[in-house]
Amino acid sequence: MTSWSFEPLLGSWWLVIAVAVLLLAGLWIKPQFSSASPLRQRILIGLRLLLILLVIFAMLRPGMVWSQFKSQRATLAVMLDFSASQQLPSDTSGLTRWQKQREIWDEVAALAKASKEDLDLVAYGYDGQLRPLALNSEGNAELPAQPTGKVTDIGKVLFDLTTIKTESPLAGLVFVGDGTITADNSNYDPLQIARQMGQMDQPIIAVGTGPRGGSADSRDIAIEGVVEEMEVFSRNRLDIKGTLRLRGLVGSQIPMRVSLIASDGTQTILDTKQISPREPDEALPFSIPITAPDPGEYRVVIEAEAQTNEAITTNNMATSFVTVKSGGVRALYIEGQPRQEQVFLRRSINASPDIQLDFLILPPSTRERWPIDLKAVLEGDEYDAFILGDVDSAAFGSEQLELLKTRVENGAGLLMLGGFHAYDGGGYGSTPLAEVIPLQLRAGIQQPFGQPVLNQLHWDGEIKMMPSGTHPVMQLASDGTKNNEIWQKLPSFDGANRWLNIKQLPGIQVIAAGDQGQPLIVAAGVERGRVLAMAVDSTWKWWLHGDQQIHKQFWRQALLWVLGRDRIEEGLTVAMDQRRLYREQNAAFRVRWQAGTGQQEIPDSVQVVIEKPDGTTIPVKTVKKGAETLEGSWLVEGEAGIYKLRATAPRTGNDATGKPLIAELPFLVLDNSVELANPIPDWQLLAQLAESTKESGGALVDGTTVVEAVRSLVRRLQTQQTEVELARRLGDKALDQWIYLGFFAMLLIVEWWLRKRWQMA
């Protein structure tokens, strides 16, 4: 389709018309050719008319627009897997995956070179990053002798590709690799990016390297899903769970063994099995129950015997680190209202690794089912301590409160919190539990549900609490003056329970009082147990005030006191994000400080080292994070084996002269990299990438069919023609101006030459 247009000089048609009229009028008036013959006059007038038309033509600046269909030039991207997994065998041919990739690259590059009039070729290597490859004049790339990438992040490299601008539009991607993602916590979903590429008409030709699962050349045993570390109390049951994945081993007998290795190297066989896979690719879950041994550090090793022709055997074994603890504290917190106090109390107590706090709520909405059957937990020895919140005595019933009283007398701890249905308001004065509560409770009085609060049972307004004398629960600092300063700065409470009186018996002590002398916390020894009665229920304000550490210390001290552990010892623990690591992987760790009664921050002189299997140590730097934590990391290097993370800290405060605190944590460094841990390609992911772009021409192929797939893509591009709109206007190019000037000058010269020849003026 062709169209014409005009752009008159200065945008004025009237100017063009005026000039044309003037020029034609001048031709009409002058020159006079009367002396010439009629033929000569017509020739000269014709030349003048041509000159006038040229002037008008130039002033109109004519332009032409027309359409033309052209084959679209496009870019083909090729991505080659540079990760270390490409060193593994490709198939039974004896070639590695990297050698297969080089063959594929040579074929694709040759085809792209033959189609260079329609196709631009760009190449990239990838592992955890996308790496552009320079192509020489022949279209060849200089590839490394061996791939050594540490991790593979397919989602990230696909995303990076979509952000790169190419000279011509990206028409497709030849993605070569095994499809296995080994990067931890990737932020990119490869399938989502593939779907976006499909919507942009950019097909993915996925070329898999390595054997398919279930084929004869993909024999592999892998133990998966075994947790890296577990904690359990001595003599408790522990289940070792995982999955045994078997590929290409139908009909084989696979011996499997579970061993327990103590810190001194002593090994105990816990279980043995014979596994017979029935499918080419089979995942068999297992669960092996064991009884936790004596306290200490152990390793549970699950291993399957290596089979002939396995590509790698390091994944035939999995190790789990087991910490067996002695004692520990287990407490049950029973609450009657979903109030703020219980949220922050649980948060603070759960911050102590040696305390397990279970929670049970008995809200008034369940009154029709009261008393709730708690006999099993109240008469057994499952719990060392009980915490009663704002829960009415009717939720338990007299019989079960008798059981709780007996448990306290036999050594269990009891901690009671304030609330509208605590103490008198909960009707405890008429229950057997009143015998162990260190208060004179009113019998026959109880706060009705849904009724106004009984004022005689409560102190209203803000109440500032301060220690009464010296007691371990109230000791937030080793120095008495500093301790009082801390209490003085803490926020006031929103009211408190008003008790009738305190029992006047040996072992009962008011350890905290309000600013008007109101007793707020009473401690008591009851036969072999201890009881702590608190009239307040708004210590959560401390947490919101920024005194989280004080809140944690107070509640830990309160709970441990009712258990007979008056003094909190300083402690040091170490933890790692991962305890099974590969070489060149980053080992992140934390050192946690358990402040003692003196509430000292973690010392600045904590030393952290890595002990290697040969006994040598490597110092590691740490960064302080808050008052009780150090963080650091170590790039794993050295031979495979059992390493130890060790932290050493001096004691502080009154214990400054004691032996230093030492915490150790063993971890395992495996023999190869994470890239070599799984020899089986992820053909499923490769198929999904191709399927996501199927409508655009995406396909899953192998090395023998990749050339035909690329040829199909090129043919598809050649049949796709784009309508291109072209435009040309007089004067747009310098050539136009020179042609116009030459023609104009030629007409003037011809007229001058004719007049000269005809001897005209």
Separation between Cα atoms, residue 179 and residue 210, nearest integer Å: 10
Q: Per-residue pLDDT tens for 211-235?
A: 875 555 567 888 888 888 888 777 6
Element (H, E) at 402: helix 398-409
- Render pLDDT for 291-340 as a digit per residue (tens, 0 to 9): 888 888 899 999 999 888 777 787 888 899 998 877 668 899 999 999 99
Total residue length of the chain: 761
Lowest mean pLDDT among 62-71, 91-100, 153-162: 62-71
Decide if pLDDT at 165 tops 80.
yes
Question: 234 near 732, Cβ under 8 Å?
Answer: no
The span from the CA of 283 to the CA of 272, in Å, is 18
Model confidence pLDDT, tens digit, residues 347-393:
999 888 778 899 999 999 999 999 999 998 998 888 999 999 999 99
Residues whose CB is less than 8 angstroms from the CB of residue 375 and which lie 6 or more positions away in sequence, other chains included: 400, 403
Which residue would you say has higher pLDDT here, 627 or 253? 253
- Asked if residue 498 has pLDDT above 90, the reply is yes
Tell me the torsion sign for CA atoms 656, 658, 660, 665: negative
Query: Phi and psi of 3, rounded to 5°?
Result: -140, 150
Q: Which comes out higher in pLDDT, residue 405 or 720?
A: 405
pLDDT at residue 14, rounded to an integer:
84
Residue range 648-669, pLDDT digits in tens: 988 765 555 567 888 899 999 9
- The structure tokens listed for 302 are 């699950």
Model confidence band, residue 51 (pLDDT cutoffs 50, 70, 90): confident
Q: How far is CA 338 from its chain centroid? A: 32
Whether the CB-CB separation of 417 and 430 falls below 8 Å is answered with no
The tokens describing 305, both together, are: 């015997």
Q: Is the pTM of this model over 0.85?
A: no
Residues in contact with 692: Cβ distance below 8 Å, sequence separation at least 6, in sequence order: 191, 194, 195, 197, 198, 204, 698
Q: How far is CA 218 from the centre of its chain?
A: 32
What pLDDT does 336 receive? 94
